[in-house]
Structure 1
Amino acid sequence: MARAVRSLGQGALVVDLTLYLHSLNWSGVKIGLALSGAGLFGALLSLVVGVASDRLRRRPFLLVYEIIILICSIIALLTAQPLILMAVIIVSGFGRGANGAAGPFSPAEQAWLAEEVAPEKRGRIYSLNSALGFFGMGIGALIAILPSLLPAATGTTQHFANIPPSSYRPIFAVVGFATLINLYLLFMADEKYRGNHRRTNSHPDETESRIRRDENKMLFKLLFLNSFNGVAVGLTGPLISYWFALRYHVGPSEIAPVMAVTFIITGISALMTGTLTERIGIVQSVVRARLLGLVLLIILPLMPLYWLASAVYLLRSAVNRGTIGARQALTIGLVRDERRGLATSTNAVSMQLPQSVGPTVAGYLLSVNQFTLPFYIAAFFQGIYVLAYAKVFKDYNLPRSEMNNSQV
């Protein structure tokens, strides 16, 4: 439930944040730097949170995250001073579209979820959790139409280039309100986990060392593969609304409905992927979907009209991001219960560090009217990721229940 509520504000900001910054006369490079800084900050903090939440408890970290988001949303609502706004974006991760995840604190959230779900059900439940995030993002994207409606109410043109910055500010109030709801939900939630107290004599020393070596080896492979995926996502994801605006001269009133439908369809795809993992396995479900997504990524920048580009973007999001839950389930299955936080934080960091480079590069390319190059660079890295993922994790192509039993 908390993920769905949190995703409302995230969905709105995915559409409107870059357009808001554009209305403040920020350059493409400056916008990219802000989003890159947010990715870098989040990656470093994520690693700390993952390890610490294994040793302590999960809920306090999520409460801290919500308080940070609340403070940042209030500041962004009250001021557009460039340095302050830049700092707010970097600390909060606004505009990066985390699908309802708790930013750098998501390792604690994912580990908490795993503790509440039987191992054989994690593939389906993680996909359901991902789907709820996408559904919330869809509703949030509809809220992003608001800046286009406010100028219309005053009799001014709705073209995105003429929307004043003040019309975007109420979006931050939506973020703050959703955060207050989440704070209440988290305060009311009961956490059974009490921290990882080291167990004695549960494994002989030699056995424990071997298990850890095997786990670390798989985590390193995951880290290596995710670096390719992270670069691809960073080049095309955070600035997609900005790309639509520059390439097709559209604004919130055109972009928001497309994003809303895209997120909802992606949520449905996530549910279908959860079911598919039980039939053909986690790895094959991911690889087949990502290969189709790769083809659509190559086609997307070639579309001459906005509605065609929107249709391709929708399909690509559905098949590509619909696998998030399945990939999270695979990550959880690579290690034992007491190292869940480490596994999820490693997964997040290995994505976010390379991903943080993408917005700056893409922002520069867009500023010099290179509207296709970011997608082709991303396709190159995405292709490496998909092929390597299939090879590295071929032995893990099991239904969720079998995969967990094989690790006991």
Structure 2
Amino acid sequence: MASVNSPGILIGDGWLLFATRCSRMFAYGLLSVVLMLYLVEVGLKEWEVGLMLTLTLIGDTAISLWLTTNADRIGRRRTLLVGALLMALAGVIFLATGNFILLVIAATIGVISPSGNEIGPFLSVEQAALSHIVADDRRTDVFAWYNLVGSFSMALGALAGGLIAEASLHFGLQGAAVYRPILWAYAAIGAAMMGGFALLSSAIEPSAKTDPLRKTVLGLHESRWTVFKLSLLFSLDAFGGGFVIQSVIAYWFHVRYQLDPAMLGTIFLFANLFAGLSALAAGWLARRIGLVNTMVYTHLPSNVLLILVPLMPNVYWAISVLLLRFSISQMDVPTRQAYTMAVVQPDERSAAAGVTAVARSIGGSISPLLATIFIGSPAMMSLPFFVAGGLKIAYDMLLYRAFASSEAQSKTKEQTP
């Protein structure tokens, strides 16, 4: 069985899961910087782009809910293979047509990431698989590294997306053709991921079948109320975050400050590098003050910084505050993932990861449409930052009130050596 045999060292299936994570996040970063620019170039209006982004997240929610809550029955490897196939197909269809209806269908059924963040069934199933093949006391650190390599890969993808678009201009390409090489790369990476997932062994699968007589709701039994409560809170956080997904922020900087794709790619390279490095500190901090405290104490100041971005006097200050915000905004991610795995039974992990991920998808499905409408109005173009920051601060307060003194939280604290 694949396992962690020393800090940060993976063997077997663990390495494959990290490799597919890196490939996928590189593809997401590659596309996120130019997705809205591409869709506008093929003739879509801003409100149509916003609608498509919303439907993309809604479609992902439905497909992910079914796949993740059935992953342990149909097989985790098979579930991951289906997700990779949908990712490759979506990229091909986006290349083949500029028809709004066909693009909406492809975005809804396929796997397209407008935010640069995880989408589809991958994260939930991989979390459950990693929790199954690593020791409990290594889970937070493994998730920290898992998020670190993901952030680095997304950062490199964002940089590559901007550079490819810039190079396409130098080669004489114009309009939507500037961005099509990026879509070809996105589809190719989806196909390559299918090969990687096919190499996974049976060690990632659940070691025992769920009792068919046990009453379950969406694959959950003993922990269902805890998971549902967490899901409601996570959906609020995601609703706020949907106003400032990476594609929206990139478009905001393009509209307000006329930044080109290469500059946008560079900004998000550093933003995601900073976010990734902070993941390692999250594991260290969580062992001293607890998982929930780490989530809240790092998330609150990052949301204050988010509100400050559009208030800055010029583009340099705006970029600086955005980068500072990214340097602490993602420290709650590995702790949130580890906390969710800690408060459920082992045979509920795939379902718990899936239900909470779907809740986040639902929460974030409407806000991109609203954000693009706001940005299209000069009087309201900065409103997404204010709304997002306020909602995410409310989430922090509610999470702390509900779970700061919980039994699982106290169990995750360790004495400082």
> TM-score, structure 1 length as denominator?
0.89
The 5 Å alignment of 1:271-350 reads 271-350=280-359
Cα shift readout 1:128-180 (whole Å, capped 9, x = no counterpart): 111111111011011112112221233x9xxxxxx511010000111123223
Q: Tell me how far 1:102 sits from its aligned partner.
A: 5.4
What is the aligned partner in structure 2 of residue 392 from structure 1? 402
CA–CA separation in structure 2 for the residues paired with 1:95 and 1:328: 20
- Give the AA of the match of 1:374: P
Aligned partners of 2:122, 2:62: CA distance in 1, in Å? 11
Provide the residue aligned with 2:273 in structure 1. Answer: 264
What SS does structure 2 have at the residue aligned with 1:19?
A: helix
Secondary structure at the residue paired with 2:225? Answer: helix
Q: Aligned match of 1:232 in 240, 246, 249? A: 240
- Where does residue 3 of structure 2 map in the other structure? none
User: Are 2:395 and 1:377 equivalent residues in the alignment?
Assistant: no
Distance (Å, rounded) in 2 between the aligned partners of 1:273 and 1:118: 18
* Counterpart residue number, 2:58: 40
The Cα offsets for residues 339-381 of structure 1, whole Å up to 9 and x where unpaired, read as 1111111111211112101011111111122122122122221
In structure 2, what is the Cα distance between the partners aligned to 1:95 and 1:307? 28
Cα deviation code 1:184-233 (max 9, x no counterpart) = 221112132257523499xxx99x99xx7761221121122122102101
Structure 2 match to 1:159: none
Q: What amino acid maps onto 2:176 in structure 1?
A: P
Query: Which residue in 2 is equivalent to 1:148?
Result: 166
Equivalent residues in 2 for 1:105-254, closer than 5 Å: 105-145=122-162, 146-154=164-172, 164-192=175-203, 193-194=205-206, 196-199=208-211, 215-237=223-245, 238-254=247-263
- Please report how far the alpha carbon of residue 103 of structure 1 lies from its aligned counterpart in structure 2 after TM superposition: 1.7
Cα RMSD of the aligned pairs, angstroms, is 2.4
Aligned equivalents of 2:53, 2:99: Cα separation in 1: 17
8 Å Cα contact 2:240/2:367 also seen in 1: yes
Q: Is the 8 A contact 2:60 2:119 kept in 1?
A: no
CA-CA distance at 1:35 after TM superposition: 0.8
Q: Is contact 1:128-1:274 (8 Å) kept?
A: no
Residue 94 of structure 1 and its aligned partner are, at CA, apart by: 2.0
| Partner SS state of residue 80, structure 1 | coil
1-side partners of 2:229 and 2:303: how far apart? Answer: 21
Q: 8 Å contact 1:49–1:105 — kept in the other structure?
A: no
Instruction: Measure the CA separation in 1 of the matches of 2:159 and 2:97.
Output: 24
Structure 1 residues 183-192 or 112-121, which shifts more? Answer: 183-192
- Runs of 5+ unmatched residues, structure 2: 1-18
SS where residue 55 of structure 1 aligns? Answer: helix
In structure 2, distance between residues paired with 1:240 and 1:233: 11
Residue aligned with 1:224, SS:
helix
Matched letter for residue 58 of structure 2: L
Of residues 275-284 and 353-362 in structure 1, the stretch that sits farther from structure 2 once superposed is 275-284
Over 3 Å counting, the alpha-carbon distance change for 1:274 and 1:5 in structure 2 is same
TM superposition shift of 1:80: 2.4
5 Å-filtered alignment, 1:4-43, equals 4-43=22-61
- The separation in 1 between residues aligned to 2:221 and 2:123, in whole angstroms, is 25
Partner of 1:406: none
Specify the SS of the correspondent of 1:262. Answer: helix
Contact 2:86–2:111 (CA under 8 A) maintained in structure 1: no
- Is contact 1:43-1:104 (8 Å) kept? no
Structure 1 residue 86: Cα displacement: 2.5
- Deviation, 1:14, is 1.2
Query: Could you report, residue by residue, the CA deviation over 1:106-125 in whole angstroms, capped at 9, with x for unpaired residues?
Result: 32222111111111111111
Contact 2:145-2:279 within 8 A present in 1 as well: yes
Structure 1 residues 187 and 400: alpha-carbon distance in aligned structure 2, compared to 1, 3 A threshold: farther
Q: Indicate how the Cα distance of structure 1 residues 277 and 52 shifts in structure 2: closer, same or farther if over 3 A, else same.
A: same
The answer to whether the 8 Å contact 2:296/2:400 transfers is: yes
Higher relative contact order structure (alpha carbons within 8 Å, sequence separation ≥ 6): 1
2:113/2:119 contact within 8 Å kept: no
Q: Match of 1:405? A: none
Distance 1:88 1:200, change over 3 A: closer
Output the CA distance in 2 between the equivalents of 1:110 and 1:213: 19
Cα 1:22–1:366 change in 2 (3 A) is same
Identity %: 27
Distance in 1 separating the partners of 2:154 and 2:334: 15
Q: Number of residues paired by the alignment?
A: 388
Q: For residues 22 and 85 of structure 1, what CA distance do their matches in structure 2 show?
A: 13
Contact preservation (8 Å) 1:128, 1:271: yes
| Cα offset, 1:316, TM superposition | 1.4
Q: Which amino acid aligns with 1:230?
A: A
Gaps of 5+ in 1: 157-162, 403-408
Give 1:401 shift: 8.1
Q: Distance in 1 between matches of 2:113 and 2:309?
A: 21
Q: Which residue type is aligned with residue 351 of structure 1?
A: R
Deviation at 1:257, TM superposition (A): 0.4
What secondary structure does 1:226 align onto? helix
Partners of 1:289 and 1:384 in 2: CA distance? 14
- CA distance in structure 2 between the partners assigned to 1:187 and 1:88 by the alignment: 24
